[in-house]
């Protein structure tokens, strides 16, 4: 922010003199007029509140697909994208989708992860899309492709850290945080949901696979899983086995298999008319959202 602007917005008052300043402004001095002093105090309070909320006002004015950078505790930077609904003003809470891309979008450019899957689906309805959507990017090329988004991986941990950053930056409804991913991100969705089952109001894994041993951890999460029946890269049986295991554990997951569709089942999944309406209907109970 411009230094001169900061001086105008924020009165430079030494902390030691702050109490005395307020006392003087509130009319404690014998010669002060109480009404006039109270008016001054109210005006001063408005100025201070406006200054403290200046950054929030700027954030509220930025909508659409925004480039952001997350810096971890070691000072390393990771580019990501956040989509902010066009009607966002910071005056109400919004649901959030954390999206995990596939292997082909890995890298460090901070762009390509929003060009496949959820990103294009949002652009088709960008003006009215009601979710904040987060697009981290897997950049740890040393980790084998299927494992880059797993809960214990560096990129998996970064994704959750970026989610936490968004929760602090924007008005987020913690009862409506959703996780979705495709292919490599589908594996990550199953893994991260298993590691943090109380965080998600619902998950949408697409053409991925998980560990059936985690079915007990997943049974209480609303799940809608998608897969292409003719997927030559990640066989549909990997999703089928997860769904079967969760049902046996007592869960009620939804499963949609697109007959004759290959690996790219994400376009059809995110184009499913009922999907985003269904997501909005899924909410955490109050005790889980704390």
Predicted pLDDT of residue 19: 36
Residue 289 within a domain: no
| Cβ atoms 232, 263 nearer than 8 A | yes
Residues 68 and 17 in one domain: no
Q: What is the pLDDT of residues 121-138, one digit of tens each?
A: 999 999 999 999 999 999
Residue 57 within a domain: no
Count of CB atoms situated within 10 Å of the CB of 69: 10
170: nearest Cα among 284, 51, 89: 89
Residues 222 and 81 in one domain: yes
Q: How many domains would you assign to the chain?
A: 2
Residue 137 within a domain: yes
Q: What is the pLDDT of residues 157-204, one digit of tens each?
A: 999 999 999 999 999 999 999 999 999 999 999 999 999 999 999 999
Residues 240 and 171 in one domain: yes
Residues 273 and 217 in one domain: yes
- DSSP secondary structure letter of residue 13: -
Residue 134 within a domain: yes
- Is pLDDT at 282 greater than 90 in this prediction? yes
Using the Cα atoms of residue 64, residue 223, residue 154 and residue 208 in order, give the sign of their dihedral.
Answer: negative
By percentage, how much of the chain surpasses pLDDT 90?
Answer: 75
Q: What is the pLDDT of residues 135-151, one digit of tens each?
A: 999 999 999 998 999 99
270: nearest Cα among 198, 204, 187, 173: 204
Residue 71 within a domain: yes
Tokens describing residue 22: 């307020």
Query: Which residues face 182 on adjacent strands?
Result: 206
Residues 104 and 140 in one domain: yes
d(CA 64, CA 104): 24
By percentage, how much of the chain surpasses pLDDT 70?
Answer: 78
Range of the domain at 26: 3-52
Mean pLDDT calculated for residue range 107-115: 97
Residues 48 and 76 in one domain: no
- Measured CA angle at 278 (ends 179, 132), to 5 deg: 45
User: For the residues of 218-259, what is the DSSP string, one character each?
Assistant: HTTS-BEEEEETT-SSS-THHHHHHHHHHHHTT---EEEEET
17 CB-near residues (< 8 Å, 6+ apart): none
d(CA 66, CA 80): 9
Residues 44 and 186 in one domain: no
- Measured CA angle at 102 (ends 224, 168), to 5 deg: 75
Please give the model's pTM, rounded to 2 decimal places. 0.79
Residues 47 and 118 in one domain: no
Domain end, chosen from 12, 27, 52, is at 52
Residues 9 and 80 in one domain: no
| CATH code where residue 207 lies | 3.40.50.1820
Residues 133 and 211 in one domain: yes
Query: Which residues face 134 on adjacent strands?
Result: 82, 98
Q: What is the pLDDT of residues 52-77, one digit of tens each?
A: 343 444 455 799 999 999 999 899 99
């Amino acid at each position: 922010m411009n230094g001169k602007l900061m001086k105008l917005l924020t009165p430079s008052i030494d902390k030691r003199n702050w109490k005395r300043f307020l006392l003087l402004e509130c009319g404690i001095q014998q010669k002060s007029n109480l009404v006039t002093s109270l008016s001054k105090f109210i005006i001063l309070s408005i100025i201070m509140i406006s200054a403290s909320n200046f950054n929030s006002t700027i954030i509220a004015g930025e909508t659409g697909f925004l480039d952001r950078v997350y810096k971890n505790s070691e000072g390393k930077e990771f580019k990501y994208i956040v989509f902010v609904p066009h009607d966002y003003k910071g005056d109400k809470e919004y649901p959030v989708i954390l999206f995990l891309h596939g292997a082909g979008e890995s890298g460090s450019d901070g762009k390509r992860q929003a060009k496949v899957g959820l990103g294009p689906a949002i652009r088709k309805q960008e003006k009215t899309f009601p979710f904040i959507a987060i697009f981290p990017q897997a950049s740890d090329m040393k980790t084998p492709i299927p494992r880059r988004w797993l809960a214990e991986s560096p990129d998996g941990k970064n994704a959750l850290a970026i989610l936490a950053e968004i929760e602090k930056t924007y008005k987020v409804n913690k009862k409506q945080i959703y996780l979705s991913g495709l292919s490599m991100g589908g594996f990550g969705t199953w893994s991260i949901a298993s590691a943090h089952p109380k965080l998600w109001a619902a998950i949408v894994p697409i053409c991925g696979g998980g560990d059936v041993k985690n079915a007990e951890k997943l049974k209480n999460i609303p799940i809608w899983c998608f897969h292409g029946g003719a997927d030559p890269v990640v066989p549909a049986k990997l999703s089928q086995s997860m769904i079967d295991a969760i049902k046996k554990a007592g869960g009620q997951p939804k499963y949609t298999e697109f007959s004759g569709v290959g690996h790219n089942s994400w376009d059809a999944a995110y184009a499913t008319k009922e999907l985003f309406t269904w997501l909005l209907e899924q909410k955490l109970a109050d005790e889980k959202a704390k």
